Structure 1
């Protein structure tokens, strides 16, 4: 009977919560387990959502989806076509290289989006649950999850939506095979800064500027990025937060540098950049606390050695748990949302008795590994090209923009 069918979601991030909203709408029983103690997060990310918007619309109730604009980094986004056209600049001269067109382009706050996705899910989310194991019944019917606090739960299918360093992936693939690999030797210092009213307005009003994004390719093999991280209070630009980085070829031991040394290194790179990078780093405090070192990392689910058993459709992976990728093409969240909607469609058919569980999970994994693996590779190729002098114009970002990768 369909009433006995139950889904366990590991991870209360965007992927897991989006999937949960779809399941709730269809009346499919589910429970969500999240290792963090509450919805509060250590760091609030933002991300580009473009073609993934369609998946969100399919998963969310109409009223919840209608509130999506409130989760933007700038909730006063006018929805004009010009906001979907991001200028790509020459990082040395500031000259316009090309416009990165997109039919839709939103910059969403992860914390705000998670808050929206948690609507009406309070009774379904269990916080402070660190996954330690998954066992499978001998009759092929269920999977049982166990947690560090000694608690357990049993369901018909477990969906690992627990992010880049997924515990589910580690259990399925193995501790060595699940490790991320670095894309070349590339890294960056992620910086979050606030500025005076005058400076904040300047950062969004330069020639070729975009209200949300600034992207530049430097001929020295560097990539500059600056975007609005939070502009909720439109009347007080001094409260706006900006996110920016200049990515580079890292030296050995750089991950152990102090924040101050990372800032000094980024400032030295910015001196040879056009605006707004030259100014945003000049205005940045030398002791800014909201800075950290990040390597460009990825994991391809389609590679030999990265296979896993779904135990007759009782367990699978989605989102960053399945295909963490480098971020220069802005595809991570969009592919994660596509995973959520593909899983949802399959589980909907399974719950209705129109298809078997193993059938829908295997069909999902075949599509996801092909699409996700292809994007992991294209994103890596893009990241490497953007940091190779003379090759940036041939990169996936320049040639395809933010459109989804296509089968060759």
Structure 2
């Protein structure tokens, strides 16, 4: 990383904010892209009259073989709406997994015993939007200056103390006033401003395998009968599972619906590393299909009905806490910062699914899926700071102080939460869970 400081600041008027979008692929055969954080920031800055350019490593918005996800957005929705154009706000309903059904003002997420199917508890889920990532990204890409197929190689901080240059692998160099790393959990920007070792996510002893699949009309109707959008399970054998809708383009064609489901479990790091050398898609799917045999519906049938060569998506869980002292980076006079997954990858980050927070001390049980909400909050806070602070250096300082404290606490909560969800006895010790068990006997 080029590092040039000490010279007097010059005017940055007219220089663009540079947003680095997609992060590196975690696996060679899988393209992993970040959330819509960078797009939301870009729209907010454009509204404020600040020039902005986004750089994406992807060659295009969509490409063959790219996997799609769905994401939960609730308390972050008002922030997103404040950043994007009104036309995009009006079109947000079209990005939902079920665009034909309006979001309920109040719904519940049902948690069942993964072995017996008995309801453990129901969590309130007000204004909970489930959005398809591909559709949301396509919507938010409209009206922005996006440069595709651009891989960041280096960052050079100019002598004047106010300009910064992004150097790309193809040799192009773009100078701006600020570089924002919104390039996912394996952020190149994070590596450049820290080091590969300090920027590396902390691997946890938990893994998960996801599947997306379509079924026959009868099968699809059966699977969706458990809940039109989502249902979760905590298994006595220390596993967690989620089942939800990925896409329902037409109400009257269940055979065209796509479902999204997974099981997660404890897996020591040594075992993860060993399996990574020998397991391919066939072994990953066989592994999770075997685990599903001990589950209640809809997981039992959902996994049983998919073919043995059905594509599966395996992930080891990892986090990165921006509030740790050793993770503090130099903003170089407010010329570089991080947002979204680049700043605070959390557990279940890749799945964008709802989880639970179970704390014995606080007696709380809250709906999860916080990664996207925190990322959109980053976008709102960063745009607010850049448009209201007296100078850019103080803007970035203000933004990072709030972001690292807020998101750091959430990263730690996600670790505690994941640990809890994969320990049946600890789940049962949660006071609110006990209340839920009593209420649902």
- Same fold by TM-score, threshold 0.5 exceeded? yes
CA distance in 2, matches of 1:269, 1:128: 39
Instruction: Provide the residue aligned with 1:98 in structure 2.
Output: 121
Per-residue deviation, residues 71-130 of structure 1 (Å, max 9, x unmatched):
011111222245x31111111111111112132211111110001101112xx1111110
CA–CA separation in structure 2 for the residues paired with 1:56 and 1:395: 33
CA-to-partner distance for each residue in 1:182-233, whole Å, 9 max, x for gaps? 22x110111111111111111111xxx3211010001110001111111112
Report SS of the residue matched to 2:327: coil
1:315 aligns with 2:339: no
Which residue does 2:52 correspond to in 1? 30
Match in the other structure for 1:358: 393
Structure 1 unaligned blocks of 5 or more: 400-408
Q: State the partner residue of 2:165.
A: 144
Offset, 1:258 = 2.2
> Of 327, 330, 335, which aligns to 2:374?
335
C-alpha separation between the residues in 2 aligned to 1:393 and 1:45? 31
| Cross-structure match for 2:137 | 114
User: How many aligned positions are there?
Assistant: 387
Rounded Cα–Cα distance in structure 2 between residues aligned with 1:97 and 1:46:
25
Query: What is residue 346 of structure 1 aligned with on the other side?
Result: 385
Q: Deviations over 1:34-78 (max 9, x none)?
A: 111111152212111111101101101122111101001111122
- Matched residue of 1:146: which SS? strand
Deviation at 1:395, TM superposition (A): 6.8
Which of the numbers 303, 314, 329 marks the counterpart of 1:281?
A: 303
Aligned residue in 2 for 1:373? 408
SS at match of 1:100: strand
**Aligned mates of 1:396, 1:75 — CA distance in 2:** 37
Q: What does 1:48-59 correspond to in 2, within 5 Å? A: 48-59=72-83
1:346–1:200 distance in 2 versus 1, CA, 3 Å: same
Moved over 4 A (4+): 393-399
Query: Which runs of structure 2 are paired with 1:172-211 in the superposition (5 Å)?
Result: 172-183=193-204, 185-205=205-225, 209-211=226-228
| Matched residue SS, 1:309 | coil
CA distance in 2, matches of 1:68, 1:271: 38
Query: Structure 1's 302 and 398: CA in aligned 2 closer, same or farther, altered over 3 A?
Result: farther
Q: Is the counterpart of residue 214 in structure 1 residue 231 in structure 2?
A: yes
- Three-state SS of the structure 2 residue aligned to 1:220 is coil
- The CA deviation at 1:172 is 0.8
Equivalent residues of 2:100, 2:250 under 8 A apart: no
TM-score, normalising length from structure 2? 0.84
C-alpha contact (below 8 Å) 1:156/1:314 kept by paired residues: yes
CA distance in 2, matches of 1:61, 1:394: 46
| Pair 1:306–1:86, CA change in 2 (3 A) | same
Shift of 1:398: 6.3
Asked if 1:305 corresponds to 2:326, the answer is yes
More displaced, 4-13 or 36-45?
4-13
- How far the C-alpha of 1:393 sits from its partner, in A, is 4.4
Over the residues paired in the alignment, what is the CA RMSD in angstroms?
A: 1.8
Q: Is the 8 A contact 1:386 1:395 kept in 2?
A: no
Task: Give the superposition deviation at 1:2.
Answer: 7.2
Distance in 2 between residues matched to 1:130 and 1:46, nearest whole Å: 26
- Structure 2 gaps, min length 5: 1-10, 23-34, 349-354, 356-367, 435-441
Aligned to 2:281: 259
- Matches of 2:36 and 2:432 in 1, distance apart? 24
Distance 2:301 2:431 in 1: 28
Paired with 1:43 and 1:341, the residues of 2 have a C-alpha distance of 27
Q: Distance in 2 between matches of 1:395 and 1:344?
A: 39
Distance, in Å, in 2 between the alignment partners of 1:396 and 1:144 is: 53
Q: Which moved more, 1:240-249 or 1:389-398?
A: 389-398
Counterpart position of 1:403: none
1:362 deviates by 0.5
